[in-house]
């Protein structure tokens, strides 16, 4: 029974003994290495020797980029390698022990400081490992595919590293060396396209559509344009809260929003000018011959607009003679002028009725007056003369008023047509400006790509490639 228990306890005791032997080898190796070891002295056999320190930066996570504060937040691992001749041993003397882990405070460490850091995490542990130098230099930030977390806003394109040396300083007087790790990132634009750019383009398109309102609806045009202006101002304010307050560079999205703001302001100015032209009248403004020729003849043909042709020159001259008298200088009555310039439908009587009255009067004159009618006719004419004259004057006044109203309506309609043509010209100009400006800024964003090489003009190839 005791023999059986001894057999059962033998494997655990053997394992404990072997573990103790392994720990004893590490303790013995550590005691041998730390004998007369001074961690404050650099590991150089001679004073002229240089201790080469290799740095390796492993990027595990690109957390965020605060553009306003210009601060990039990342998670990285920094690995430093150097050769300490005082920490050498023969693995055969220690039963094949190749690696020994010791606290970092027990050995010499290079004086390496990470600039622009917010917080430093240290494991306080160093691996002492026997290795051979292969002479290979890797100059980039390493990314562990298993530990790296992809960022949803930024994409990493290049990650080179450079050592900055003072070439002018002698080698024996060289100060601190600096190794700079670069990260060239590119924004993933889908978020800004959906949430800012697309709404701005659609809202600006609404501002362009106000030109389809009538030319006299200037108040409604200004109201719509100002509402669009306020919406664009809100978007510009949101973007201004994210971009840095610097004058060195202006983001493309700020340029585009400022461009849309300027286009909308021009649309408001156009609406005010067109409204001012459309509401003019002959009483306040007289249309020049050049304006009538350009806006009522030339531009409507070029723009394929159907407008009423202006009044002929003969009619305009007759209207002018109506106010100043006949062209020969003799004063004529308003009724004769109306008969010359107005159409037949606007005369007091129809042509057929006038012909019948004249024919009846001629027949009576040919037959001559009947006995006793001459005195009666003279008396009746003498009594009716003031009434007939008053009727004629009243008819002349009515015809003159109708003519003046027709002249006023015709002049107002001409100014309205000028406003329509001007509105169409402004529409085409603003549409061309909006399309060309939007396309130009989008092309600037398309060609603003990360260069193929991280440092243009540098012949050295930095691995890995961006692909």
Instruction: For tokens 């193929």, name the residue.
Output: 452
d(CA 120, CA 425): 65
d(CA 396, CA 24): 135
Q: How many CA atoms lie within 13 A of 33 on its CB side?
A: 26
What distance, in Å, lies between the first and last C-alpha atoms of the chain? Answer: 71
Query: Based on C-alpha coordinates, what's the Rg of the chain?
Result: 50
Chain CA centroid to CA 421, Å: 30
Report the C-alpha dihedral over residues 378, 383, 389, 395, rounded to 10 degrees: -110
Q: What are phi and psi of 81, to 5 degrees?
A: -130, 135
Chain CA centroid to CA 367, Å: 94
The pTM is what? Answer: 0.59
Q: What is the DSSP letter of 140?
A: B
Reading the chain (467 residues) residue by residue, the pLDDT tens digits are: 323 333 233 333 333 444 445 457 888 888 988 888 898 888 888 888 888 888 888 888 888 888 777 788 888 888 888 888 888 888 888 888 888 888 888 889 888 877 766 554 454 555 555 444 444 445 666 666 666 777 777 888 777 877 776 666 665 555 677 778 888 888 888 888 888 888 888 888 888 888 888 877 778 888 888 898 898 888 888 888 877 777 777 888 888 888 999 999 999 898 888 888 888 877 777 777 887 788 877 887 887 776 665 554 444 444 454 444 433 333 434 444 444 444 444 444 445 555 555 566 556 656 665 665 666 656 665 665 676 677 767 777 787 777 777 766 677 788 888 888 888 888 999 999 999 999 998 888 888 777 777 777 676 666 554 44
Give strand pairing partners of 156.
185
Report the C-alpha dihedral over residues 318, 322, 327, 328, rounded to 10 degrees: 150
């Amino acid at each position: 029974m005791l023999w059986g228990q001894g057999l059962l306890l033998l494997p655990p005791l053997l394992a404990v003994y072997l573990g103790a032997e392994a720990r004893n080898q590490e303790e013995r190796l550590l005691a041998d290495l730390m004998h007369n070891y001074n961690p404050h002295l650099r590991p150089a056999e001679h004073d002229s020797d240089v201790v080469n320190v290799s740095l390796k930066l492993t990027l595990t996570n690109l957390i965020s980029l605060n553009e306003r504060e210009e601060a990039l937040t990342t998670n990285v691992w920094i690995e430093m390698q150097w050769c300490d001749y005082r920490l050498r041993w023969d693995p055969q003397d220690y039963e094949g022990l190749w690696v020994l882990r010791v606290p970092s405070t027990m050995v010499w460490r290079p004086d390496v400081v990470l600039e622009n850091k917010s917080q430093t995490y240290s494991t306080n542990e160093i691996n002492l490992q026997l290795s051979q130098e292969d002479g290979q230099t890797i100059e980039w930030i390493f990314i562990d595919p298993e530990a790296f977390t992809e960022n949803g806003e930024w994409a990493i394109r290049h990650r080179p590293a450079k050592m900055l040396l003072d070439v002018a300083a002698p080698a024996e007087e060289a100060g601190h060396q600096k190794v700079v790790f670069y990260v060239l990132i590119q924004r993933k634009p889908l978020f800004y396209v959906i949430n800012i750019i697309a709404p701005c383009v659609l809202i600006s398109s609404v501002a362009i559509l106000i030109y389809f309102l009538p030319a006299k609806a200037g108040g409604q045009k200004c109201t719509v344009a100002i509402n669009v202006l306020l919406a664009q101002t809100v978007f510009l304010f949101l973007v201004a809260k994210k971009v840095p307050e610097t004058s060195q560079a202006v983001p493309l999205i700020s340029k585009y929003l400022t461009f849309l703001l300027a286009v909308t302001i021009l649309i408001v100015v156009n609406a005010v000018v067109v409204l001012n032209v459309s509401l003019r009248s002959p009483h306040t403004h007289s249309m020049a011959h050049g304006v009538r020729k350009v806006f009522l003849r030339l531009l409507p043909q070029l723009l394929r607009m159907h407008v009423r042709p202006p009044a002929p020159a003969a009619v305009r001259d007759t209207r002018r003679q109506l106010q100043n008298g006949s062209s020969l200088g003799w004063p004529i009555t308003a009724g004769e002028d109306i008969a010359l310039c107005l159409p037949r439908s606007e005369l007091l009587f129809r042509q057929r009725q006038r012909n019948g009255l004249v024919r009846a009067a001629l027949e009576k004159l040919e037959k001559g007056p009947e006995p006793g009618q001459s005195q009666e006719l003279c008396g009746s004419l003498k009594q009716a003369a003031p009434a007939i004259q008053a009727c004629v004057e009243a008819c002349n006044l009515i015809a003159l008023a109708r003519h003046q109203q027709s002249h006023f309506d015709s002049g107002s309609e001409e100014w309205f047509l000028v406003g329509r043509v001007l509105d169409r010209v402004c529409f085409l100009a603003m549409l061309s400006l909006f399309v060309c400006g939007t396309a130009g800024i989008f092309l600037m964003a398309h060609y603003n790509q990360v260069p193929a090489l991280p440092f243009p003009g540098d012949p050295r190839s930095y691995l890995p490639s961006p692909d």
